[in-house]
């Protein structure tokens, strides 16, 4: 694989859709429609021997007839026709393809044979292709949207490599809901020719990609994956959900993408050696990914917690200790300083319980006092409301006032996150925030994550989720330190 | 404790606020304000010797001066004054109190002594009280809102017992966001006199309460808790988050509510013997609670999964097998029936992967075919979009059409859940649904849970969360069957 192959795939200047359709029920319709609607800037050539025009574009009978050599061929013809299309692509000089069509190695022996024929043909001709049996790709910086749902991820810093199309859809959609965008997303399908590690290598070099999320059911070449991951991890965090880890899951994976799931223990070892962070589910993967975009990496597991809610502090302490964090004893000097700003009966422990009624100035001061302790590597803050610098959280009854109130409150919430993030920046230690947003009406609740994301900020819901995020930061920090020395 | 004590507490016909205030920064202001704003139907008597009126109500100098004996006394005076107020209450014949004030056993020896004095006095006088150091209670069926945040849970079937005020706030708020309401919520604070098991016993009998959520940091009387829980569990599921299970958590709990956390292993044993379902965090507690309101209890762990997304199926299979579910082999007869409605290349396995492009009629039929298998105890369905009976999921560009589109789509989503729930009802087996809602804009995303809750339906996000919900249903089903025989 050369860089130019990947540029043709992800930064295509022109594309042909082989099997393009005017029938809205067909994939040959949807993929093309989304490419057009997504605002692709280059030429698009639909190929369909039975039609004059497809979705308003001039249709061609075959690849040979095209007036230029497009960078990319999207292939949506039935399986038996696919190998011939690959041959045509090569004859024309096309360097990259995406085979959307399903019905190959994931179904039966004949499918397996056809898939191998495509691979052999492409290899010989110096062409690469994604798939088959895949959901397409999104390359938002190139406004190149070739995927099933009518959803157009905005450009951003997050790369997605997934062996499931639904997972690409779900992750990119959630990333957008959180106010972030994607660099490159690929649903790799059966990975007949291009494997997850190939995309990983590409994203490792891609300047837009700052963090990589990956859903994997099985490796075609575990050794090469490990080698690539080890290098990429030195520069960019990779967060992975490895599915198919049980027998039932492995069976499902085999019929889904013809993946051989392999031993979960082996994957665990691969992950550790290559710095890959493992997520339990897709929501956690996203939570971790967003933290890496923003938080300084901690130097260890010595933790301070400040909470505006007693119960939240207890839950956080449990979650952090279970993950091996050391909730440090606060230095006497810090306690003396905290005494000056907290009520007489404050608990003098860690978590620092701010007790009801703390005001914002004192909250940020308390957080900073803990953050500047030499024996603190990172922090968690819980329950953001009193840090929002609002005297009242009551919704106005008047409709016009209510209209203005929502954005003002969202702004107050984002400002509080900004203040916390400024403390993290100042001390170069992570500060992860978890909170309920009880003040919010339905509208504000829906907007919070998006508004915060617009400031490159995140607020988690549950203390145990925040603890898992801190754990990921520590693990990756360890990896980076270990490998920056060598 | 007699029933009439608890009726005075949760179904008060009149109440006095000792330490009521006109100063918006004080608890004596907020608790009274929320009682008024929440629409309490009985008489309210503020007590404050320095004011003529409090928030528009006539103020009294002390309890003795009140024109009648109120059912309930809310006490918000400093700790040293509290025992005397309890004595006054008893003299007046008041049967129940809520001591909001903090600064007792959770702080120091003097606090401990004052707390004990209150307990001794109340016991002798036949009075009960909630707290001290608590966030109040909500009794929505009685429109009785005595709590810190300006949030009024609608009446509903969920009871909350928590040793953390934040947790009461957070849970009741989230319950409302999901379209449900609460029967009785109590933040029990230090539990000086009334313990969690007392509230549990009450809610066991309360006709409005159908499921009980509980956050506990420590038991005052573990033996009695177990006895009460064992009985209540026979009729109503109890879901509990036990905090303070690590050393750090236990320390935090001690300073929070003076709780002695006790051994986690002991709690685990108590839970098992008494049918208490254990939740990992508050979100999971809610997910489980909502399932108990709706789903039939399964007879075992033999599971069928139908998925409209391959990757989701793999993740679900992993999660279910890890929890000990048996993903059954589909009977030949069922496979033959599924062959008639699914594409030729469907996987003929469990999870049943519907493959892209399945239509709603066939989806519901496939689910029903699996559900009617004799060797299936319960089911999971994944990825709801194709079951929504919509031809297109694209948002209209026209603003007026867009306005109508949202509610229509929400209706379509709720209808799909109704169809799934009807299958669960017909076969009296649980059917839990997990899905992304990629079609939804920000507005619809915010409304989905609420709209579904209005139909007593829930759609979970992650397959592993849905698996944990099914696990809770199985565990509780086991308990109920075991104890209905004896």
**Given CB atoms, is B392 within the 8 Å cutoff of chain A?**
yes
pLDDT score of B1: 60
Number of C-beta neighbours around residue B280 at 10 A: 14
Confidence of residue B391 (pLDDT cuts 50, 70, 90): confident
Number of C-beta neighbours around residue A390 at 10 A: 16
Residue of A nearest to B174 (CA): A438
Q: If contacts are CB pairs under 8 Å, which of residues 192-251 in chain B contact chain A?
A: 215, 217, 241, 243-249, 251
Asked if A248 lies within 8 A of B465 by C-beta distance, the reply is no
pLDDT score of B356: 65
Measured between alpha carbons, how far is B254 from B256 in angstroms, rounded to an integer? 5
**Given CB atoms, is B173 within the 8 Å cutoff of chain A?**
yes
**Given CB atoms, is B387 within the 8 Å cutoff of chain A?**
no
pLDDT score of B260: 67
Listed in order, strand segments (DSSP E) in B84-127 are: 96-99
User: What is the CATH code for A153-294?
Assistant: 3.40.50.261
Confidence of residue A383 (pLDDT cuts 50, 70, 90): very high
Confidence of residue A302 (pLDDT cuts 50, 70, 90): very high
pLDDT score of A333: 97
For domain B1-135, the CATH class is: alpha beta
* CA dihedral (B58, B64, B68, B74) positive or negative: positive
CATH for the A296-484 domain, from 1.10.3720.10, 3.40.470.10, 3.40.50.261, 3.20.20.150: 3.40.50.261
Confidence of residue B209 (pLDDT cuts 50, 70, 90): very high
Condensed to tens digits (0 to 9), the pLDDT of residues B65-120 reads: 999 999 999 999 999 999 999 999 999 999 999 999 998 998 889 999 999 999 99
pLDDT score of A265: 79
Condensed to tens digits (0 to 9), the pLDDT of residues B24-33 reads: 889 999 999 9
Cβ distance B422 to B296 under 8 Å?
Answer: no
Asked if B321 lies within 8 A of A247 by C-beta distance, the reply is yes
Q: pTM for the full model?
A: 0.95
Residues forming beta bridges with residue A44, ordered by sequence position: A15
Assigned token pair, B34: 């929320």
Spell out which residues of chain A touch residue B315, defining contact as CB-CB under 8 Å: 241, 243, 249, 281-282
- Percentage of chain B with pLDDT > 70? 98
Spell out which residues of chain B touch residue A282, defining contact as CB-CB under 8 Å: 315, 462
pLDDT at A260 over 80: no
Q: Which of B285, B278, B289, B273 is nearest to B230 (CA)?
A: B273
pLDDT at B485 over 70: no
Higher per-residue confidence, B58 vs A310? B58
pLDDT at B195 over 60: yes
**Average of per-residue pLDDT across B360-382:** 97
**Average of per-residue pLDDT across B178-190:** 97
pLDDT at A38 over 60: yes
User: Which of A246, A252, A267, A304 is most worth mutating to test chain B (most B CB atoms within 10 A of its CB)?
Assistant: A252
From the CA of B35, how many Å to the nearest CA of chain A? 15
**Average of per-residue pLDDT across B124-141:** 96
- Chain mean pLDDT for chain B: 94
CATH for the A1-134 domain, from 3.80.10.10, 1.10.10.10, 3.20.20.70, 3.40.50.720: 3.40.50.720
Lowest mean pLDDT among A450-454, B62-66, B249-253: B249-253
Measured between alpha carbons, how far is A284 from A469 in angstroms, rounded to an integer? 8
- Regarding beta strands B431-434 and B378-382, do their DSSP bridges make them parallel or antiparallel, or are they unpaired? parallel
Burial class for B361, CB neighbours closer than 10 Å (0-12, 13-18, 19+): exposed
Confidence of residue A261 (pLDDT cuts 50, 70, 90): low
From the CA of A33, how many Å to the nearest CA of chain B? 12
Q: If contacts are CB pairs under 8 Å, which of residues 286-325 in chain A contact chain B?
A: 309-315, 317-318, 320-322
Angle at A79 between CA A75 and CA A4, to 5 degrees: 35
- Give yes or no on whether A1-134 and A153-294 have one common fold: yes
From the CA of B286, how many Å to the nearest CA of chain A? 13
Confidence of residue A356 (pLDDT cuts 50, 70, 90): low
Cβ distance B22 to B55 under 8 Å?
Answer: yes
Asked if A162 lies within 8 A of B311 by C-beta distance, the reply is yes
**Given CB atoms, is A403 within the 8 Å cutoff of chain B?**
no
Angle at A301 between CA A300 and CA A302, to 5 degrees: 100
Residue of B nearest to A318 (CA): B249
Q: If contacts are CB pairs under 8 Å, which of residues 256-285 in chain B contact chain A?
A: 256-257, 280-283
Higher per-residue confidence, A167 vs A267? A167
H or E segment and range at residue B292: helix B282-294
**Average of per-residue pLDDT across B251-266:** 76
From the CA of B309, how many Å to the nearest CA of chain A? 6
Spell out the domain ranges in chain B: 1-135, 153-294, 296-484
H or E segment and range at residue B196: helix B196-205
């Amino acid at each position: 694989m050369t860089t130019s192959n990947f540029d043709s795939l992800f930064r295509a200047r022109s594309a042909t859709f082989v099997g393009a359709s005017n029938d809205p029920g067909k994939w040959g319709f949807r993929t093309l429609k989304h490419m057009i609607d997504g605002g692709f800037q280059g030429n698009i050539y639909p190929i369909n021997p039975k039609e004059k025009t497809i979705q308003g574009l001039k249709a061609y009978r075959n690849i040979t007839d095209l007036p230029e050599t497009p960078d990319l061929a999207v292939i949506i013809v039935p399986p038996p026709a696919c190998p011939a299309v690959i041959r045509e692509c090569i004859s024309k000089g096309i360097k990259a393809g995406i085979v959307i069509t399903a019905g190959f190695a994931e179904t039966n022996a004949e499918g397996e044979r056809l898939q191998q024929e495509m691979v052999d043909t492409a290899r010989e001709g110096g062409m690469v292709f994604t798939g088959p049996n895949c959901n397409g790709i999104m390359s938002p910086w190139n406004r190149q949207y070739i995927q099933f749902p009518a959803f157009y991820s905005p450009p951003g810093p997050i790369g997605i490599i997934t062996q499931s199309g639904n997972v690409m859809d779900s992750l990119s959609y959630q990333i957008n809901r959180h106010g972030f965008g994607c660099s490159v997303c690929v649903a790799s399908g059966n990975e007949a020719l291009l494997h997850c590690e190939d995309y990983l290598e590409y994203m490792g070099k891609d300047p837009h990609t700052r963090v990589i999320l990956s859903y994997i059911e099985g490796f075609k070449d575990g050794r090469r994956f490990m080698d690539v991951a080890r290098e990429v991890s030195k520069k960019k965090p990779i967060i992975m959900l490895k599915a198919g880890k049980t027998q039932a899951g492995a069976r499902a994976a085999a019929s889904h993408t013809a993946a051989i799931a392999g031993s979960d223990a082996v994957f665990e070892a691969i992950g550790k050696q290559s710095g890959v962070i493992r997520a339990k589910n897709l929501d956690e993967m996203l939570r971790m990914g967003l933290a890496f975009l923003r938080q300084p990496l901690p130097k260890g597991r010595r933790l301070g917690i400040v909470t505006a809610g007693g119960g939240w502090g207890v839950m956080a302490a449990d979650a952090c200790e279970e993950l091996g964090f050391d909730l440090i004893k606060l230095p006497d000097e810090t306690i003396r300083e905290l005494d000056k700003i907290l009520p007489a009966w404050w608990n003098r422990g860690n978590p620092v319980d701010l007790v009801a009624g703390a005001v914002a100035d004192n909250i940020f001061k308390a957080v900073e006092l803990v953050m500047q302790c030499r024996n603190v590597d990172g922090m968690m803050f819980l329950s953001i409301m009193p840090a929002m610098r609002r005297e009242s959280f009551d919704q106005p009854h008047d409709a016009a006032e209510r209209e203005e109130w929502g954005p003002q409150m969202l702004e107050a919430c984002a400002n509080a996150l900004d203040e916390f993030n400024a403390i993290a920046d100042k001390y170069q230690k992570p500060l992860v925030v978890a909170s309920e947003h009880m003040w919010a009406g339905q509208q504000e609740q829906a907007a919070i994550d998006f508004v915060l994301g617009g400031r490159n900020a995140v607020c988690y819901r549950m203390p145990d989720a925040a603890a898992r995020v801190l754990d990921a930061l520590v693990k990756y920090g360890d990896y980076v330190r270990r490998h920056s020395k060598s």
